Amino acid sequence: MTPVPESAQLAPRWSRDRRGRAKWPLRRWLSVAIGVLVLVFVGAVIAGGLAIANLTEARTTIVDRIDPAVQEALRLDAAVVDQETGLRGYALTAKPEFLQPYDSGIERQRRAISRLREIIVVRTDLLDRIRGIEGDMERWRSDYARPTIGRIETSGVGGDAQTEEGKQRFDSVRTAVTGLQRELDAARERGRIALADAANLLVTVCVAIAFVLLLVFLLVTVALRAAVAGPLAQLAGGVRRVADGDFQHELRVSGPQEVTELAGDVDSMRKRILDEVAVQRQVNAELDSRTEDLKRSNAELEQFAYVASHDLQEPLRKVASFCQLLERRYKGQLDERADQYIGFAVDGAKRMQVLINDLLAFSRVGRHARDRVPVACGELVGQATANLAEAIADADAVVEVGELPTVLGEAPLLTAVFQNLIGNAVKFRGEAAPVVRVEAERDGEQWLFSVRDNGIGIEPEFAERVFVIFQRLHGKDAYPGTGIGLALCRKIIEYHGGRIWIERSTEPGTRFRFTLPVADTAAGAVGTLDETPSEKAHP
């Protein structure tokens, strides 16, 4: 892992602005804004409550006090008039039934005065008037009404007219009652004016509250925008520039403490990325140098392959040809050891040719890529069995082929895969006649192929080793070959985007599994199972 330079260490958190003043954290900004809104709201509630209380008091005064007092004053006036009227009718007629308004008027006067005292208990001036009216009526009754009633009851004769003294005393009572009514009317007018003023005050307070709340909301919004939203937008813009690749852009953001700290962290990360990019450039330079070395090495390998395919093949063919000529011409003419030496030379030359051809085939896989075309795997297996017809016939082998798909690939390379797997199944056979089964099935986005035989099998611990080039599990005297076949199969399958392995099984024999991608079906039959029936290849 590449070490991080010292300059890439996280910078200290920015807790002060450029002038060295301590910055408020975002929580404090929000607390202050919420506190201001709460104070304004509480003030608005208090002001509105006072205005509503004032309105309620004015309404209560006029509805629950003044208006009932006016009604009771009217009842008092009616009670007083009824007493005077009843007394006058009795004085003229001497009939007792005329005293009924007088008696009921006294009771109604008492109730009206009692109710007035309860209603206007806070108005001492009106209470004095009520006491004066009550005293005047009591004096009128004691000095005039009761003596008149007693005289008529004694004499039984009416016809008395109201005296001037009685009239004056009653007029003073009516004047006092009328003055009380005027005072109550004036109080009711003042109450109406107070009620109207309270209503106007409530409307004014509500408008003022709405205006103040709107103003405070705008001020808080502007303050938060300038103190929070603005720095956040500035930080987002700077981060976006850095994310777009401008790593030289330095992040300097003023605002709440959290925003400046975040800007400091991002800027530290930017510096660390710059340092890592510088280190990576050095690594890339080394990789470029090694890539050039690999290109030169590959060029040399290609030159070696060219030499092996042309310059080495020709003298090798001459050696093999002349050794075969020596074998045909002088076989039996020399001693037995000379014939054995010539046989060794011929066999070595042939195996050298096979080894060179296999190495060339292995090195060419993926080096000269060709366009991949739809190929029917059933036809590839048919071509492979045709190439192995002699070996299949000699081993009395049976090759069973199931339904195989059509895939995209290079036909010669995939034919080599089937040929190597079937050839190995025939070569590494047991005592029974070889039976090879080739089939495929769909597994998601891949085709899963299976090549199974009933041969000698491969031990699980060697299941991966057999795919390594030149790795052999048996001597070349027992089973001929170069040890390249399965390595070539793996290279071809991986070149086509798949993988190959040996599946463990309790049954005798070996089961090779490999995958190939499912091709795009837009071309028609590509990636579908061939509809040809299963076939068997016999010797």
**Residues 65-76: tens digit of each pLDDT:** 788 888 888 888
* Class of 372-537 in CATH: alpha beta
The CATH number of 26-232 is: 1.20.120.1730
Spatial separation of the C-alpha atoms in residues 81 and 497, rounded to whole Å:
122
What integer pLDDT is reported at residue 529 of this predicted model? 61
Model confidence at 459: pLDDT above 70? yes
> In this structure, are strands 500-502 and 511-517 parallel, antiparallel, or unpaired?
antiparallel
Residue indicated by tokens 């074998």: 327
pLDDT for 414-435, tens place per residue? 998 899 888 888 887 777 888 8
Residue ranges, comma separated, of all CATH 3.30.565.10 domains in the chain are 372-537
* Mean pLDDT across 101-119: 86
- Reported confidence tier of residue 344, pLDDT bands at 50, 70, 90: low
86 neighbors 98 (Cβ within 8 angstroms)? yes
What integer pLDDT is reported at residue 159 of this predicted model? 60
What integer pLDDT is reported at residue 189 of this predicted model? 85
What integer pLDDT is reported at residue 4 of this predicted model? 46
- Reported confidence tier of residue 12, pLDDT bands at 50, 70, 90: very low
What integer pLDDT is reported at residue 407 of this predicted model? 92
* Mean pLDDT across 5-23: 48
pLDDT for 132-149, tens place per residue? 888 888 888 888 888 888
What integer pLDDT is reported at residue 311 of this predicted model? 63
Among the ranges given (13-17, 117-121, 421-425, 477-481), the one the predictor scored with the smallest mean pLDDT? 13-17
Residues 6+ apart with CB under 8 A from 407: 374, 375, 377, 414, 447, 496, 516, 517, 518, 519, 526, 527
Residue indicated by tokens 């002699």: 390
Query: CB count, 10 Å around CB of 160?
Result: 15
pLDDT for 40-66, tens place per residue? 888 888 988 888 988 888 788 888 778
Give the residue, 441 or 57, on which the prediction is more confident.
441
pLDDT for 153-201, tens place per residue? 887 776 655 556 667 777 778 887 887 788 888 878 887 888 888 888 8
Residues 6+ apart with CB under 8 A from 446: 498, 515, 516, 517, 518
Q: What are phi and psi of 475, to 5 degrees?
A: -70, 155
275 neighbors 305 (Cβ within 8 angstroms)? no
What integer pLDDT is reported at residue 477 of this predicted model? 54
> In this structure, are strands 511-517 and 446-452 parallel, antiparallel, or unpaired?
antiparallel
What integer pLDDT is reported at residue 473 of this predicted model? 58
What integer pLDDT is reported at residue 453 of this predicted model? 86
Could you tell me the sign of the dihedral formed by the alpha carbons of 85, 87, 88, 93, in that order? positive
What integer pLDDT is reported at residue 2 of this predicted model? 47
What integer pLDDT is reported at residue 521 of this predicted model? 46
Residue ranges, comma separated, of all CATH 1.20.120.1730 domains in the chain are 26-232
pLDDT for 209-264, tens place per residue? 888 888 888 887 887 777 667 777 777 877 777 777 776 777 676 766 667 777 77
What is the average pLDDT score of the chain?
76
Q: CA 47, 49, 52: angle at the middle one, nearest 5?
A: 110
Structure tokens at 314: 């020709």
DSSP assignment of 164-231, as one string? HHHHHHHHHHHHHHHHHHHHHHHHHHHHHHHHHHHHHHHHHHHHHHHHHHHHHHHHHHHHHIIIIIHH
pLDDT for 383-405, tens place per residue? 989 988 888 888 888 899 989 99
Query: CB count, 10 Å around CB of 145?
Result: 24
* Mean pLDDT across 3-25: 50
Strand partners of residue 344 = none
